[in-house]
Amino acid sequence: MIVDTHCHLNDERLAPEADAIAEGLFDRGIESAICVGYDMPSSEAAVRLAEKHENIYAAIGIHPHDAVTADYDSYERLATLSSSSKVVAIGEIGLDYHYDLSPRAIQKGAFREQIELADVLGLPIALHIREAYEDARQILFENRGYLNNGVLLHCYSGSAEFVKIFGELDAYFAFGGAITFNNARHNIEALKAVPHDRLLLETDCPYMTPVPFRGKTNRPEYITYVAQKAAEVLGLAATDIGDITSRNAKRLFTRMK
Ligand code: NI
C-alpha cells in the first residue's frame, strides 16, 4: 500500500469529485493521502475533507506564491485549524523564484514565520522550493533550532549534492511524476542519493502528471506509475517501495495512522 504524501483534492479541478476519489483510494492500493493547502481557503478545504474521510489527512500553510496574503490573522487561523488531529504538517511553505509571484523578501518572511509556527504547534514542515535551493538552505540552517518535528522537501527538484546538505537536517524527500519524464536525469540522480528511510512518494495532483498520462489532469491513482519508476531506479520490488515509503510517511507524520 502506498501513501500519497502530497495531493490537491482541494484544487478546483479535483474538488468536485474529491469525495469519490477518497472513497476509491483503498481499492487502488493507496492507504491514505495528504491533501495540501496553499492559502487559507485551500487549507480550510483540506481540513474539511480530512475530517470527512478517515484516509485523508491535511497539511495547512501559505505557499510562497501567496506569501503576500500571510499575516498575523492567517497564522492565528492556521494554529486553530491545527487542533484537528487530521492536520499532519504545516505546508506547503517555502520559496519559489521561478514564478516570483510574491516578492522574494516577503516569501522569505512568510517562510521563516511558518517555520516558527510549525515548531510552536509541534508539526513537521512540508516545503515547496523551486529555483531557490541556496536561499532555502540558508534559512533552514539559520532556523535549525525550530526544526524539531521534521522537514520534508516536496516535489524534490534539487541536486544530489543538496540531498546531502539537507540530509544534515535529517530531511525527507518526496518524488512524483517528474521522475517518469524523458528528461529526468537530474531527478533520477537525486532520487538515487536519498537514503531509503528518507524517501517518500507523491502525486502533487492535479499537477505533475506522470508518463503515460502527461497532458492530462493528474490523479492520486497515478502514483502507481511513480512507485514503479522509483522501484525500477532503486532496484526494488514495487510492493517494497510502497511499504518502505509508507513506513517513512508514518515516521515523519506522527499524527498519521
Ligand atoms: Ni503542491
SS (H, E, C) 63-107: CHHHHHHCCHHHHHHHHHHCCCCCEEEEEEEEEECCCCCCCHHHH
What single DSSP character describes residue 153? E
Domain count, the chain: 1
User: Is 193 a domain residue?
Assistant: yes
Distance (angstroms) between ligand 1 centre and the Cα of 204 equals 5
238 falls in which pLDDT band (50, 70, 90)?
A: confident
pTM of the model: 0.97
On whether residue 101 sits in a domain, the answer given is: yes
**What's the CATH code of the domain at 206?**
3.20.20.140
Element (H, E) at 89: strand 87-96
- In angstroms, the CA 61 to CA 45 distance is 12
Instruction: Name the grid cell of 199.
Output: 524517501
**66 CA → ligand 1 middle, Å:** 13
The per-residue pLDDT for 52 is 98
Q: What distance lies between CA 190 and its chain's CA centroid?
A: 17
Asked if residue 16 is part of any domain, the answer here is: yes
Taking residues 70-86, report their average pLDDT: 98
What residues make up the domain containing 210? 2-252
CA 257 to ligand 1 center in whole angstroms: 22
Residue 95 vs residues 24, 159, 176, 230: alpha-carbon distances, Å: 34, 16, 19, 26
Task: Band the pLDDT of 23: cuts 50, 70, 90.
Answer: very high
- 72 occurs within a structural domain: yes
- The predicted pLDDT at position 58 comes to 98
- For ligand 1, the distance from its centroid to the CA atom of residue 100, given in whole angstroms, is 16
CA 231 to chain centre: 20
Q: If you measure from the C-alpha of residue 153 to the centroid of ligand 1, how many angstroms do you get, rounded to a whole number?
A: 11
Percent over 90 (pLDDT), the chain = 99
CA of 8 to the centre of ligand 1 (A): 7
Distance between CA atoms of residues 252 and 250, nearest Å: 6
Residue type, 237: A
Residue 116 lies in a domain: yes
State in Å: Cα 45 to ligand 1 middle. 14
The pLDDT assigned to 160 comes to 97
The pLDDT score that the predictor gives to residue 6 is 98
If pLDDT is split at 50, 70 and 90, which confidence band does 57 have?
very high
Mean pLDDT, the chain, as a whole number?
A: 97
Q: What is the pLDDT of residues 186-232, one digit of tens each?
A: 999 999 999 999 999 999 999 999 999 999 999 999 999 999 999 99
Q: Which residues contact 43 (CB under 8 A, 6 or more apart)?
A: 37, 58, 60, 61, 62, 78, 81
166 pLDDT more than 90: yes
In a domain, 134, yes or no: yes
Residue 127 in domain: yes
- Cα 6 to ligand 1 centre (Å): 6
CA of 108 to the centre of ligand 1 (A): 18
Can you give the pLDDT at residue 175? 98
With respect to residue 257, please indicate whether it lies within any of the assigned structural domains: no
Q: Which residue reads 535529517 in cell numbers?
A: 170
Collect all residues with Cβ–Cβ distance below 8 Å to 108 and sequence separation of at least 6.
95, 135, 139
Mean pLDDT value of segment 22-31: 97
Q: Ligand 1 center to residue 234 CA distance, Å?
A: 25
Residues 106-164: tens digit of each pLDDT: 999 999 999 999 999 999 999 999 999 999 999 999 999 999 999 999 999 999 999 99
pLDDT at 217: 97
